[in-house]
Amino acid sequence: MSELDGYSLRLYVAGQTPKSIAAIANLKKICDKHLPGRYEIEIIDLMKDPALAMRHQIVAIPTLIRQLPEPLKRIIGDLSNAEKVLVGLDIRPN
Amino acid sequence: MSQGDPKLPLFEDADETVAAIHQGDIDAVVVMRSLEGPQVILLHGAEEPYRVLVERMSDGALTTGPDGVVLYVNERLCELTGYPSSRLVGRGLNSLFEGEPPKLVPEVTAEASLLRNGDDAMPVAVWSRPISIADTTATLVRLSDLSIHRRAEQIAAAERFARSVLEQATEAVVVLSPDGHITHASWRAEQIAKRSPVGSKFSEVFQLEADSTPDARTLARFSAESLDTLLATRPFHGLEVKLCGDGAIKSTFLLSAGPLVDDNRTNVGSIVTLTDITERKRAEEQQTTMVAELNHRVKNILAIVQSVAAQTMRSSGSPENFAVAFDGRLKALAIAHDILTQTRWIGIGLSELLATMLAPYRAPEEPRISILGPAVLLPARAVVPLSMVLHELTTNAAKYGALSTRRGKIEITWQLGGGVDQSIELVWQERDGRKVKPPAQAGFGTKLIDRVISHDLDGKTRIDFDPAGIRYTLTFPVRGVATQRAATSGPATA
């Protein structure tokens, strides 16, 4: 994966809440389908360290942040609407 | 802190966050605590069903923080105000209301006017209770739309008002729906219909027939159905009708109909009135009869005056004599008419008539004329002729008889005869006057007396020239004469 075309994603979750679990599963499914081999996901559990929320002013959980490519983008929710996620992350379906 | 710049606004995408909370897309939030820093609060568990309940409730709901700032609004409140949640969250609670904001007392309902986007403020009931969210004291405020309730109250009040108007109406008033069915009826309408007419067609309850030929022609143009439709949809006025059918009230009614319109000025039926004009019709007929009667009487009076003038002229030797005699006779006529007017043409008691006509000759200190007889009510038609006769008798007595001397007296007595016609026999007896001699020929006064008694009163006159005093016996029928009292009036001497 090159840095130019890769996606660096960070998903903020709160432990094992239903929406957090759903968001992780939905995100992986979307990335596998539309960004095979071009993504990297970092899951941040704010239950363990709430202070990490400060970096991206996280209020709602789950929240997905696209760190790369720039600009920074934010999607709130459990990512069950794949189309909304693709639009939100600027990913063109293959 | 290394992870973020505390100067950046925490709610960068507040709308998106609020929307996600509403839609149930998230189940945890990060709350900033000044001492502990950020803290994660889970929304599921006890809060989740509560959130669902608040979100789905039919009333508007919001939560405020300790400072009165709106933190959350439900969908229903957005509908009620016409504003999206993003316009409501973050505002002070009091700014949502027009005029005096509600005073929040836990679990006590207050009323207020909720501001709305592009519309009139809405009356709402405001109820509140404190709630605790993650160690923070907030207030849940519920707002219930009172406009439907108010409208229902207004409709109920209008209905009560209309009902009381109908109940108090002395006329028969019914309200028709556009298809001609009666929806409301006044008390009088029920009385005339002899049952509750509500629910029936107008023509089923009120079977009409016209009261006059022109109205009959108008009514004949309509079938029962078309009359129902006409009354329910068109303004209509002035048809005089009677009710027909077994046991129908024998009254004359004025049938009228006017449109009934709602708030939007849409025709929603009509108000039909049956005004009882029986008494008015009777009064009109009575008035017509009275005018004809008056006309007849005026002509009679003129004929009498003409006749009296002609006869007085013939018997008067000079214009001066004519003036005196004619004046006396006209005065007698005037007195008779005064009596008729005062008694409203009912008539007068015979003793009252005698007392009135003879008043100028009855000085209290010199009782010269006595009046004695049973109480009799003279009919109006006898008053004028008898007044003329009494005038002539009095004038003769004053010129030639008992009243021409200082000691002369007159005794007037009468009695009632039997028979179908019931007659009066009145005796005018003069005494202590000049010595009476039969005249060579009858004077005009005597002729007039005889003529009036025979022609106008259908009676007879007898004159006895008794040397001690002249005596007139007048007999005439008084059909319709009523005996006023059983007792006699007693000797009315003066």
Structural domain contains residue A1: no
- Is B336-477 assigned to CATH 1.10.490.10? no
pLDDT of residue B47: 55
Sequence letter at residue B448 = L
**pLDDT higher than 90, residue B313:** no
Between B14 and B120, where is the model more confident? B120
- Chain B interface includes A51 (CB < 8 A): yes
pLDDT of residue B421: 67
Question: Per the structure, how many domains does chain A have?
Answer: 1
pLDDT of residue B51: 62
Pick the CATH number of B14-145 from 3.30.450.20, 3.40.50.10380, 3.90.1150.10, 3.60.40.10: 3.30.450.20
**pLDDT higher than 70, residue B490:** no
Confidence tier at B133 by pLDDT (50, 70, 90)? low
CA distance A84 to chain B (A): 13
Structural domain contains residue A93: no
CB contact under 8 Å between B6 and A62, yes or no, is no
pLDDT of residue B389: 94
Between B452 and B162, where is the model more confident? B452
Dist CA A23 CA A61 (whole Å): 10
Confidence tier at B438 by pLDDT (50, 70, 90)? confident
Confidence tier at B110 by pLDDT (50, 70, 90)? very high
Nearest CA in chain B to A79: B25
The tens digit of pLDDT for each residue in B261-300 reads 877 788 888 899 999 998 998 899 889 988 988 888 788 8
Confidence tier at B227 by pLDDT (50, 70, 90)? confident
The tens digit of pLDDT for each residue in B32-79 reads 776 778 888 877 555 555 666 666 677 898 888 777 878 778 888 999
From B176-180, B200-204, B416-420, the region with the lowest mean pLDDT:
B416-420
pLDDT of residue B307: 81
pLDDT of residue B50: 62
pLDDT of residue B344: 80
Other Cβ atoms less than 10 A from the Cβ of B412: the count is 22
The DSSP result for B128-195, as a single string, is: EEEEEETTEEEEEEEEEE-HHHHHHHHHHHHHHHHHHHHHH-SSEEEEE-TTSBEEEE-HHHHHHHTS
- Chain A interface includes B17 (CB < 8 A): yes
Place of tokens 């049973």: B374
CB contact under 8 Å between B42 and A77, yes or no, is no
Dist CA B359 CA B352 (whole Å): 10
Task: Write down the domain spans for chain B.
Answer: 14-145, 150-276, 336-477
Instruction: Tell me, yes or no, if the two domains B14-145 and B150-276 fold the same way.
Output: yes
**pLDDT higher than 80, residue B3:** no
Confidence tier at B351 by pLDDT (50, 70, 90)? very high
Structural domain contains residue A94: no
Mean pLDDT of chain B: 82
**pLDDT higher than 90, residue A8:** yes
**pLDDT higher than 60, residue B99:** yes
- Counting Cβ atoms within 10 Å, is residue B356 exposed (0-12), middle (13-18) or buried (19+)? middle
CA distance B28 to chain A (A): 5
Residue B117 structure tokens: 């986007």
Q: State which H helix or E strand residue A91 sits in.
A: none
Between B41 and B3, where is the model more confident? B41
CB contact under 8 Å between B28 and A57, yes or no, is no
CB contact under 8 Å between B4 and A57, yes or no, is yes
Report how far apart, in Å, the C-alpha atoms of B182 and of each of B133, B204, B332 are: 60, 10, 65
The DSSP result for B249-296, as a single string, is: ---EEEEEEEEEE-TT--EEEEEEEEEE-HHHHHHHHHHHHHHHHHHH
CB contact under 8 Å between B27 and A58, yes or no, is no
Structural domain contains residue A92: no
Please list the helix, strand and coil fractions of chain B in percent, rounded to the nearest 5, in that order.
Answer: 40, 30, 30
- Chain B interface includes A78 (CB < 8 A): yes
Residue B363 structure tokens: 């000085």
**pLDDT higher than 60, residue B491:** no
Sheet containing B267-276: order of strands? B182-185, B172-176, B267-276, B252-261, B236-243, B208-210
Q: What is the count of residue pairs from A and B with beta carbons less than 8 Å apart?
A: 87
Range of the domain at A40: 7-87
List the single residue in A57, A59, A61 with the smallest CB-CB distance to B8.
Answer: A57
SS (H, E, C) B66-127: CCCEEEEECHHHHHHHCCCHHHHCCCEHHHHEECCCCCCCCCCCEEEEEEECCEEEEEEEEE
**pLDDT higher than 50, residue B486:** no
CATH, residue A62 = 3.40.30.10
- Say whether the peptide bond before residue B439 is cis (omega within 30 degrees of 0): no
Q: What is the mean pLDDT of residues B163-178?
A: 85
CA pseudo-torsion sign A12, A13, A14, A15: negative
Nearest CA in chain A to B19: A76
From A11-15, B24-28, B318-322, B458-462, the region with the lowest mean pLDDT:
B24-28
The tens digit of pLDDT for each residue in B446-476 reads 888 998 899 889 999 999 998 889 999 999 9
- Is B150-276 assigned to CATH 3.30.450.40? no
CB contact under 8 Å between A60 and B20, yes or no, is yes
Q: What is the mean pLDDT of residues B314-332?
A: 88
- Helix B319-342 / helix B350-358 crossing angle, nearest 10 deg: 140
Between B479 and B176, where is the model more confident? B176
**pLDDT higher than 80, residue B212:** no
